[in-house]
Amino acid sequence: MELFFPINLFTNRYWVAKPLNPGNKGLAAVAEQVEKPGHDADAELIQDFLKGGQSSFNRLVLKYQNKVFNLCYRMLGERSEAEDVAQEVFVTLFRSVKHFRGDSLFSTWVFRITVNHCKNRLKYLTRRNYFKMQSLDQPFATEEGEMVPDTEDEGPTPEESLMSREVQETIQLKIAELDTEHRTAIVLRDIQGLSYQEIADILGVREGTVKSRIHRARLELKEKLEREGKL
Domain of 10, CATH number, reads: 1.10.1740.10
Whether the per-residue pLDDT at 183 is higher than 80: the answer is yes
pLDDT tier at 1, thresholds 50, 70, 90:
very low
**Residue 123 and residue 184 in one domain:** no
Given this model, what pLDDT does residue 216 score? Answer: 95
For residues 201-225, give the mean pLDDT: 94
pLDDT tens figures, 47-93: 889 888 888 999 999 999 999 999 999 999 888 999 999 999 999 99
**Residue 13 and residue 25 in one domain:** yes
- Last residue of a domain, which of 113, 132, 151? 132
For residues 190-218, give the mean pLDDT: 95
Phi and psi at residue 230, to the nearest 5°:
-100, 0
**Residue 78 and residue 191 in one domain:** no
**Residue 70 and residue 181 in one domain:** no
- Last residue of a domain, which of 72, 106, 132? 132
> Do 99 and 112 meet the contact criterion of CB atoms below 8 Å apart?
no
Kindly tell me the burial class for residue 194, based on how many C-beta atoms sit within 10 Å of its own C-beta (0-12, 13-18, 19 or more). Answer: buried
**Residue 193 and residue 217 in one domain:** yes
What domain count does the chain have?
2
Contacts of the segment 22-28: beta carbons below 8 A, 24+ positions apart: 22/50, 22/98, 23/98, 26/50, 26/98, 26/99, 27/51
Given this model, what pLDDT does residue 103 score? Answer: 83
> Do 181 and 146 meet the contact criterion of CB atoms below 8 Å apart?
no
Alpha-helix runs per DSSP H in 37-192: 42-50, 54-76, 79-96, 106-127, 158-177, 180-186
Residue 145's Cβ-side half-sphere holds a number of Cα atoms within 13 Å equal to 6
**Residue 170 and residue 82 in one domain:** no
Given this model, what pLDDT does residue 5 score? Answer: 43
Mean pLDDT of the chain: 75
Q: What percentage of the chain reaches a pLDDT higher than 90?
A: 42
- Last residue of a domain, which of 109, 132, 155? 132
Domain of 151, CATH number, reads: 1.10.10.10
**Residue 8 and residue 50 in one domain:** yes
> Do 43 and 58 meet the contact criterion of CB atoms below 8 Å apart?
no
CA distance 202 to 204: 6
First to last CA, the chain: 56
Phi and psi at residue 21, to the nearest 5°:
-125, 90
**Residue 26 and residue 138 in one domain:** no
Q: Which residue has the higher pLDDT, 212 or 24?
A: 212
Q: Which residue has the higher pLDDT, 171 or 128?
A: 171
Residues found in the chain: 231
**Residue 93 and residue 145 in one domain:** no
**Residue 151 and residue 91 in one domain:** no
**Residue 177 and residue 88 in one domain:** no
Q: Name the residue range of residue 2's domain.
A: 1-132
Whether the per-residue pLDDT at 188 is higher than 90: the answer is yes
CA distance 82 to 7: 14
**Residue 193 and residue 158 in one domain:** yes
